């Protein structure tokens, strides 16, 4: 039983860490949106507004992805909280965690690619 408690504690730690990271990214997207609005208010013309609109769309898509990942994390946390401590560790929770882990890796990679592109854009127009 002690092994299972330790195992579930490790899974909870991963989920809590991912939740904090996703909340940070969600807030970061709000900050980037504010900067895009600042650029839009300056009326630079089509050269600035076309990528600006693309970034705004990407922010909406990213926020939606964050919401879906947060929902999955909440579901995983509920599974952990409802785990039967008397059953043997069969890897079910770990396998469920594995796909979320891969999805988080993919999301984080895409987030930082977007962030890098946006920072280049901000350097050019701010």
> What pLDDT score does 87 carry?
57
79 Cβ contact partners less than 8 Å away, ≥ 6 residues apart: 93, 96
Chain mean pLDDT for the chain: 88
Q: Which of 55, 54, 70, 65 is nearest to 20 (CA)?
A: 70
Q: Which of 72, 97, 105 is nearest to 9 (CA)?
A: 97
Average pLDDT over residues 60-66: 98
pLDDT tens string 13-42: 999 999 999 999 999 999 999 999 999 999
Residue pair 69/103 in contact by the 8 Å Cβ criterion: yes
Q: Is 22 exposed, middle or buried (0-12, 13-18, 19+ CB in 10 A)?
A: buried
> What pLDDT score does 88 carry?
57
């Amino acid at each position: 039983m002690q092994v299972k408690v330790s195992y579930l504690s490790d899974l909870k730690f991963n989920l809590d860490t991912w939740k904090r990271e996703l909340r940070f990214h969600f807030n970061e997207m709000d900050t980037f949106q504010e900067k895009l609005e600042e650029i839009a208010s300056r009326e630079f013309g089509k050269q600035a507004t076309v990528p600006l609109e693309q970034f705004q769309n990407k922010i909406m898509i990213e926020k939606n992805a964050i919401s879906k990942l947060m929902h999955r994390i909440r579901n995983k946390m509920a599974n952990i909280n409802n785990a039967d401590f008397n059953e043997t560790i069969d890897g079910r929770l770990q396998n469920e965690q594995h796909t979320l882990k891969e999805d988080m890796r993919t999301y984080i990679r895409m987030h930082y690619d977007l962030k890098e592109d946006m920072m280049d854009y901000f350097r050019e127009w701010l």
